[in-house]
Amino acid sequence: MLKDFLKWSELKQNLDATANQPPYFNEGEAWWCSVGINIGSEINGKDNLYIRPVIILKKLSKDSFVGIPMTSKIKAGSWYISINFSGKISTANLAQIKTFNYRRLQDKYGQLDINTYLSLKARLKSLLDL
């Protein structure tokens, strides 16, 4: 599959130029987020906004957060955790955590229940040996 890096670059410039008020987001929420086109095994977004659901792991400020991208594919392994959103199973890809700016956020996707969120944090902390 040929990746259209130029199209993503143009969209990224448009997102960066957006000067609107940051949406109110919280830890434990999942949002549709423009993650873009990436290199190699890095997770890519889909559709014309290059989006995928991202869990807000840690809010850093009103402008930024550490997020965990999700996929609808069921994956097994220590760096994956299955999450149930309204009866749909998704997989959080813990190896793909990164810092995001609010300008990448599109729409709220859902809210993790507190036990799932705490389990996710504990699993990541264990994997990172913190």
The residue extents of the domains of the chain are 5-127
pTM of the model as a whole: 0.92
Report pLDDT digits (tens) over 72-87.
999 999 999 999 877 8
Correct CATH for 5-127 of 3.30.70.1290, 2.60.40.3710, 2.30.30.110, 3.90.190.10? 2.30.30.110
Report the b/e string of 76-96 with b at 16+ CB within 10 A. Answer: eeebbbebebeeeebbbbbbb
Comparing CA positions, the residue from 101, 40, 34, 103 lying closest to residue 69 is: 34
Rounded CA gap, 4 and 107, in Å?
24
Report pLDDT digits (tens) over 30-60.
999 999 998 888 899 999 999 999 999 999 9
